[in-house]
Structures are given as structure tokens and as C-alpha cells.
Amino acid sequence: MEIHDKRDVLDVRDATVANSRFDNTNLSNTQFHNTNLSNTAFVDVLLCNSRIVDASMSNAYFSDIDLTNVKIEKANIAGMTINGIAVDQLLKDYEAAQAAGGK
């Protein structure tokens, strides 16, 4: 199936479109619900103001990304690192410093 130079709404349900390619495509305001994106590559992608809820991102890899004003809440961060530093340990150290009256 090929869709080129179209500006219509695409409604895909109960379908397998594995191994598909989206290049220079505007998917803004698109909803992905109950969708398997395992082993998917996102390259040069704009996700500003996007919401990712009830998602598993285990073993995901992020590189050269802008996380300005990103909020992460209620997350399992076991084994998560940022620039090689364990996030769970950073949070423990921060909480200990706060409890000790540090700022």
C-alpha cells in the first residue's frame, strides 16, 4: 500500500502495518492507542507537547535529544541512566540532602 501526497485522515484499526516507513510525514495530532512500536526507530522527530501515558519503554535508548521542560511522573526508573549516571541513585542522594536540610 502506498499513500503519496495525500492530505486525508487515515483511520487504521485492527491492522498490521509492520515494517512500514514514514518519511517527511506530518503526524501531528495523531493518536496511537494500544499500539506496538517495539523495535521502532524515531529519527529527527518532533514530539513537542506530546503525551506518553501507560507506556513501556524498557531498554529504550535516547541520544541527542532535547528534554527541556519534560516531566516524568510515576515512572519505574530501575536501571535508568542519564549520561551514565544512575537516576535512582541521584534521586536517593537528592532526597537524603533534602532530609538533611540541604538545598
What number is the average pLDDT over the span 84-93? 95
How, if at all, do strands 85-86 and 81-82 pair? antiparallel
Query: Any residues with CB less than 8 A from the CB of 79 and at least 6 apart, and which?
Result: 86, 88
Q: Give pLDDT, residue 1.
A: 79
Q: Give pLDDT, residue 38.
A: 94
Cα separation values, 82 from 23, 26, 34, 74, 93, Å? 29, 30, 28, 18, 15
Q: Give pLDDT, residue 16.
A: 94
Q: Residues 79, 84, 85, 86: what is their CA dihedral angle, to the nearest 10 degrees?
A: 0
- Give yes or no for residue 103 having a pLDDT over 70: no
Tens-place pLDDT, residues 33-85: 999 999 999 999 999 999 999 999 999 999 999 999 999 999 999 999 999 99
